[in-house]
Chains A and B, each alone.
Chain A
Amino acid sequence: NAGVTQTPKFQVLKTGQSMTLQCAQDMNHNSMYWYRQDPGMGLRLIYYSASEGTTDKGEVPNGYNVSRLNKREFSLRLESAAPSQTSVYFCASNRDRGVGWSNQPQHFGDGTRLSIL
């Protein structure tokens, strides 16, 4: 099983450019998440989606938009990239309903390393 797949793995952008980070999971999970991780800051939640068609802001949503295209896919878009958005971005998913749902961990993709010049 592929689990959570993120593309691209690396990207360099210039300030003001736009791009979309893609995430797909094949575990039939309801919930999906986008985090950014910066040195010393831990994982900070950008947006999450509890189900297809719903999205909610996390701790640091400014400058980002998301789309939950279907149950499998959750994309993150930077409309006008800024140097402050240089970071490692992780997508995650988990099952949050059914028997034993509260014991289900989040599963992470390999991350996208994004540099904005």
Chain B
Amino acid sequence: QKEVEQNSGPLSVPEGAIASLNCTYSDRGSQSFFWYRQYSGKSPELIMFIYSNGDKEDGRFTAQLNKASQYVSLLIRDSQPSDSATYLCAVNKGNTGNQFYFGTGTSLTVIP
């Protein structure tokens, strides 16, 4: 069983719509959760993180965490063509040694 699972997509949404990206994780003891955006040919860049159940908003982005369901999501409101990228979900398990586990990413295309 993979530590972090994401739907690889591709996910296509029209400009101005809400894009919803989902992620599940296997270790119930995981501490914190991160969303990275990766443009083609570039390195991953952090969008936001969340560690408490509920929603966390930052501009057009909202991260949602449900620890009981072991589920993390990222909502992008008013999607723009510049949001077209691969979105990586990452989990910090908070243990000693390697702590980070990444999903394989979801490819998002925002259609003008």
Contact = CB atoms under 8 A, between A and B. Distances in A.
B25 interface: no
Given A42-B88, A106-B90, A108-B44, A50 B96 contact: yes
B97 A50 contact: yes
Contacts of A43: 44, 88, 102
B55 interface: no
Interface residues on A, range: 20 to 34
Given A102-B31, A103-B49, A105-B34, A45 B98 contact: yes
A106 B43 contact: no
A56 interface: yes
B51 A102 contact: yes
B81 interface: no
A74 interface: no
A40 B105 CA distance: 8
A11 to B, nearest CB: 16
Contacts of A48: 97-98
Which bracket fits the contact residues of B? 20 to 34
B70 interface: no
Nearest to A54: B97
B16 to A, nearest CB: 29
Contacts of A110: 42-43
B54 interface: no
Contacts of B90: 105-106
A23 to B, nearest CB: 12
A40 B43 contact: no
Interface of A: 31, 33, 40-43, 45, 48, 50, 56, 58, 90, 94, 96, 102-111
Given A42-B102, A105-B36, 8 more contacts: A33-B98, A43-B44, A58-B98, A96-B99, A103-B49, A105-B90, A106-B90, A108-B45
12 contacts: A31-B99, A40-B104, A45-B98, A48-B98, A94-B100, A96-B99, A103-B92, A104-B92, A105-B49, A107-B46, A108-B44, A110-B42
